[in-house]
Amino acid sequence: MSQYTEIKLSCYHCGGDCSDDSIFIDDKLFCCNGCKTVYEILQANNMCDYYSIEETPGISKRNEIRRNFDFLDDPDLQNKLIDFTDGNWTKITFFIPQMHCSSCIWILENLYKFNLAIPESEVDFLKKTVSVKYSVKETTLKDVVILLDSLGYLPSFNFEEKTKSKSDEVLKKLYYKIGVAGFAFGNIMLLSFPEYLSLDDVVTDNIKNIFGTLNMLLALPVFLYSASEYYFSAWKGLKKKIINIDVPITLGIFVLFARSYYELITVTGAGYLDSLAALVFFLLIGKLFQYKTYDVLNFERNYQSYFPIAVTIIKDSAETTKPLDKLEAGDRIIIKNGEIVPADSVLISDSANIDYSFVTGESVPVYKTNGSIIYAGGKQVGKSIKVETVKDVSQSYLTQLWNQDAFRKEYSSNINMLVNIISKYFTIIILGIASTAFIFWAPSDIHVAFNAFTAVLIIACPCALALSTPFTLGNSLRIFGRNKFYVKNADEIERMAKVDSIVFDKTGTLTETNSSDINYIGEELSDERKSLISSAAKDSSHPLSQSLVRALLPADHYPVERFEEVFGKGILAIVNGAEVKLGSDRFFNGASKVNGDLPNSSKVNVEINNERLGYFEIKNKYRPNLKAIAANLKSLYCISVLSGDNAGEENNLRNFFGDKARLLFRQSPFDKLNYVKDLQSKNHKVLMIGDGLNDAGALKQSDVGISISENVNNFSPACDGIMESKSFNKLKDFVNFSRTSRKIIILSFIISFLYNLVGLFFAVQGLLSPVIAAILMPISSISVVVFATLSTNLTAKKQGLL
Amino acid sequence: MEVIVILIGASLAVAIGFLIAFLWAVKSGQYDDKYTPSVRILFDNDSSEEKSKTN
């Protein structure tokens, strides 16, 4: 008998679907015992407010694995993880990627109700961290982590996290500097009013002198502190024989400061200290605007962030845990369901199912038998296996990628940035004009000559020039972020504008990870049979079974009477009295015949009541709109597709990308890296789009490496940008928009040059009064900022990105 | 007119006071996390205990 319930049962804790109503307390339903346990813990501690702040805030415990946290007792490891300890109290910051709502904040800040030895815990929601202070005498790090895990908030341990606080320090310093500059700017402006309004008859010379002295005092911290990083940057540039934008800025600031002090001390004028303070203030605001970071996302992962920090090893026939960095070749390790093999190993157990999705993007597990090599990065699916490591973690096949030059080179980033190319010529021209003015005036009046020389350098100080880039690119960064494309920093957008070649990885990038094309070949299936197959496959967690269930969509599901799964091979189920057998060739014919696998696809044979009906052929599905995206891109860029698979898909890819595209198959991670290098040596600017660890080298080597991910908080290799897979169809818009941004920057440059021309007109005649400087400089800066912001927003709207 | 010097002194003193307050706020971490406090303030203190009393 089949029953179909319309009302979906959802879990009180996590909101997930409940398969039946067997797990409940106080008429609250749960999808699994894990969720129920969390509820019980909360109830016992009088913490059920958790459920009233947000609905179903919990994190599903359905795929829960029992974890062993013994490695947290290792003192070396503890020292690496904790922020600070004084022997009584220890402070540690955990990164908790599961944090997603205000209930999470509430429960994580009320940890003391569960364990009195944790008096303080503070959440930073945007960074997804919780800082915990605990008493060393009353509890241990392990207990704290077990508590968090029992509530569903398993911290993700990562030794790189600690360096992150550095960016906080930079930001804090920027705030200090802006504060000081803003304070000085406002007050100096106020004290300069008599000068602006020429109130000579009202304001006595005495008061003017006092105002001048005050201005000198106020400008001093701006000159010495707020503007200091421009001096360092200019000096660094000059040492490398590069005239960056900070060189003319520094020149301008020094001349402004020196001439103003000279005028005020000799009582020959009022100086330009207001312009100096305004200039520094605006420049720093621009810097702050550019300083957008996605703290939660990690763009600099190395292989260590993929791997566990400790593994279970067998030593003297007992299980112990060992930190990963102490793992040696020859250790025997136990890999449990869902754990990652940290180093190249040989399988000791009879069989294993290795999911290489981190490595290749391919999520269908690979079946391995005793004695075969399992590469680092593979994830075991199913029962625990034993393996013996044959290489160190750092010497393993994939992790060797990180020893490549690509990972050592520091980006010699901003030499080629537009603003620095221009500033080189700009500085030379301005110095030329200033000297010409000096030489012109010197014979007649040396005083005017000095005046004109300094005035040119002051008025030409490229404040607006320096502001146009951060505001345009900073705004573009925000617009991209709103479209789920997170770029590491603003410079990458300019780099993206210059790209002329695009390299795609195939699996996981051009194809979707979670859905597939399914073809059925064989005797036609009746609705009845479809229901039987779907009911049988429903209870299996294997990705192929899941794809089948999604594709068949039968009208009914039958109760399953008996269910047996041979992992990685197939399932045998009795459904509604019929015997349903689904699985690979190996499942039907025994291990002897393995070569029947179709290239690039997986085959699931179907047998009902001992009658072989046919098979499903399950292929990776290309992303929707790929045709349109490819058609747009192929005319503008030189396109390459690299694939780790065989050439089976060549014709399909040709259809998408045309004859000119270069398609390369059977590419190892090193081949991919070398291919990108090769393109670059032919003066191509390469945009690489990939998704897995095997693309890590190529992503790092390319000029802009974008990693594509179903969920941006998931693992992604080191890259310059992370794109959510749903935004893939906007790829063309993103590249176009980065080009538009570049054009906007150039237009802003032109605007600021026009202002400079007006200023120079006064300056070369030695007629630059403080009022003209005080008006011209802020106006030019503000108009450039307004132009940059408005025009990026408008074009984004036009291109459908806002 | 000389009184303006006193007024300027007073206004500068106030401005410096605000500058110091700003620098202190940055230093004490008030600008580190600009989101979480906005959520935190909405939580009632120990409301579950009060509720269990009224029930």
Q: pLDDT tens for residues A467-515?
A: 888 899 989 998 998 898 988 888 888 889 989 999 998 877 888 766 6
pLDDT of A277 reads 94
pLDDT of A156 reads 78
Contact A369, A349 (CB under 8 A): no
In 3-state terms, what secondary structure has residue A644? coil
Query: Which range among A371-385, A401-415, A546-560 has the greatest average pLDDT?
Result: A371-385
A593 band by pLDDT with thresholds 50, 70 and 90: very low
Mean pLDDT of chain A: 83
What's the mean pLDDT in A119-143?
Answer: 89
- Residue A585 CB burial class (10 angstroms; 0-12, 13-18, ≥19): buried
Residues in chain A with CB shorter than 8 Å from the CB of B42 are: 102
| Cα distance between residue A97 and residue A156, in whole Å | 7
| Residue A792 C-alpha, separation from nearest chain B C-alpha, in angstroms | 26
Q: Do A180 and B19 touch (CB under 8 A)?
A: yes
| Closest residue in A to B29 (Cα–Cα) | A172
How far, in whole angstroms, is CA A426 from its chain's centroid?
35
pLDDT of A201 reads 75
Q: ipTM value of the model?
A: 0.85
Domain boundaries, chain A: 1-64, 70-157, 308-392, 477-511+623-739, 513-622
Structure tokens at A695: 């693309």
Those residues of chain B whose CB sits closer than 8 Å to some CB in chain A are: 1-2, 4-5, 8, 11-12, 15-16, 18-19, 22-23, 26-27, 31-36, 39-40, 42-43, 47-49, 52
The residues in A 42-71 lying below 8 A from B, measured between CB atoms, are 46-49, 53
A42 band by pLDDT with thresholds 50, 70 and 90: confident
Q: Kindly indicate whether the domain formed by A70-157 is annotated with CATH number 3.40.50.150.
A: no
pLDDT of A528 reads 82
Least Cα distance to A301 among A248, A247, A349, A358 occurs for A358
Contact A437, A449 (CB under 8 A): yes
Contact A486, A480 (CB under 8 A): yes
Structure tokens at A148: 């968090």
| Residue B1 C-alpha, separation from nearest chain A C-alpha, in angstroms | 8
A368 has pLDDT over 50: yes
Instruction: Provide the β-strand partners of residue A566.
Output: A570
A127 has pLDDT over 90: no
pLDDT of A361 reads 60
Q: Do B36 and A53 touch (CB under 8 A)?
A: no
Mean pLDDT check: name the lowest of A318-332, A392-406, A634-648, A667-681. A392-406
| Closest residue in B to A50 (Cα–Cα) | B48
DSSP state at residue A114: T
| Residue range of the domain that includes B35 | 3-54
Residues in chain B with CB shorter than 8 Å from the CB of A207 are: 1-2, 4-5
Residues in contact with A410: Cβ distance below 8 Å, sequence separation at least 6, in sequence order:
none
Least Cα distance to A115 among A18, A25, A45, A11 occurs for A45
Q: Is A180 on the interface with B (CB under 8 A)?
A: yes
Q: Where are the beta strands (DSSP E) in A626-666?
A: 638-642, 662-664
Residue A45 — φ and ψ, nearest 5°?
A: -100, 15
Domain count, chain B: 1
Nearest to B36 among A124, A187, A191 (CB): A124
Contact A419, A784 (CB under 8 A): no
A614 has pLDDT over 80: yes
A159 band by pLDDT with thresholds 50, 70 and 90: low
Q: Find tokens 């009184």 and name the residue.
A: B3
| Cα distance between residue A314 and residue A316, in whole Å | 7
Instruction: Please state, as a whole number, how many other Cβ atoms lie within 10 Å of the Cβ of residue A294.
Output: 18
Q: Kindly indicate whether the domain formed by A477-511+623-739 is annotated with CATH number 3.40.50.1100.
A: no
pLDDT cut 90: percent of chain A above it: 22
Q: Do B19 and A49 touch (CB under 8 A)?
A: no
Q: Is A26 on the interface with B (CB under 8 A)?
A: no
Q: Do B43 and A176 touch (CB under 8 A)?
A: no
| Residue B50 C-alpha, separation from nearest chain A C-alpha, in angstroms | 11
A776 has pLDDT over 70: yes
| Each residue's pLDDT tens digit, A259-310 | 999 999 998 888 899 999 999 999 999 888 887 777 667 676 666 666 777 7
| Each residue's pLDDT tens digit, A737-746 | 999 999 999 9
pLDDT of B53 reads 40
CATH topology of domain A513-622: Calcium-transporting ATPase, cytoplasmic domain N (3.40.1110)
Residues in chain B with CB shorter than 8 Å from the CB of A171 are: 31
| Cα distance between residue A273 and residue A259, in whole Å | 9
pLDDT of A280 reads 95
Q: Which residue has the higher pLDDT, B14 or A393?
A: B14
Q: Is A109 on the interface with B (CB under 8 A)?
A: yes
**Selecting from 3.90.1170.50, 2.60.40.1120, 2.70.150.10, 3.60.110.10, what CATH number does the domain A308-392 have?**
2.70.150.10
